[in-house]
């Protein structure tokens, strides 16, 4: 296993198991869709709009994947950062999760009312503020950044 990162055994096995599960689901979905494609050829969209939609789809999925990976990688880095600050890590993470649970409904309503574009702009501004706050070794500032992080996560997934 020289090509794999130097992770603890439980994390490595979990990663490999989830990767194998994801690959198996992808193969099963491909096989299922391949069988459907021969019977539903006339129901698929065609014409002038299909290439434009495919271009939009590729662009959207590229940006979405980058943002999802950045959010995913952030968790482990936050733990290391909070550990180096010597603050109550569990209180900060719990504050972020509870903030996300509390704000999920109102944020979803707000996004439906004011639109996705404004939501993306607010999400990016919140992430900038959160990342600036993470540079301060003050529990109150870190706590506020976790509250904002819960709100931005709601925006991210709505």
pLDDT tens figures, 86-136: 999 999 999 999 999 999 999 999 999 999 899 989 998 999 999 999 999
The overall pTM is greater than 0.95: no
What tokens does 106 get? 């109102």
pLDDT value of position 38? 58
CA 60 – CA 119 distance, rounded (Å)? 15
Give the span between the Cα atoms of 102 and 148, in whole angstroms.
Answer: 12
């Amino acid at each position: 296993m020289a090509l794999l990162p130097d992770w603890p055994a439980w994390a490595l096995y979990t990663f490999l198991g989830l990767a194998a599960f994801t690959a198996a689901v992808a193969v099963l979905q491909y096989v299922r869709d391949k069988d459907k494609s021969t019977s539903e050829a006339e129901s698929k969209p065609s014409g002038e709009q299909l290439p434009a939609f495919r271009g939009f789809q590729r662009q959207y999925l590229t940006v979405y994947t980058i943002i999802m990976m950045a959010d995913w990688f952030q968790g482990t880095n936050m733990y290391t950062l909070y550990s180096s600050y010597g603050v109550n890590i569990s209180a900060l993470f719990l504050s972020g999760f509870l903030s996300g649970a509390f704000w999920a409904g109102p944020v979803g309503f707000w996004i439906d009312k004011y639109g996705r574009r404004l939501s993306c702009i607010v999400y990016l501004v919140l992430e900038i503020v959160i990342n600036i706050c993470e540079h301060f070794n003050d529990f109150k500032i870190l706590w506020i950044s976790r509250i904002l992080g819960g709100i931005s996560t709601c925006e991210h997934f709505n």
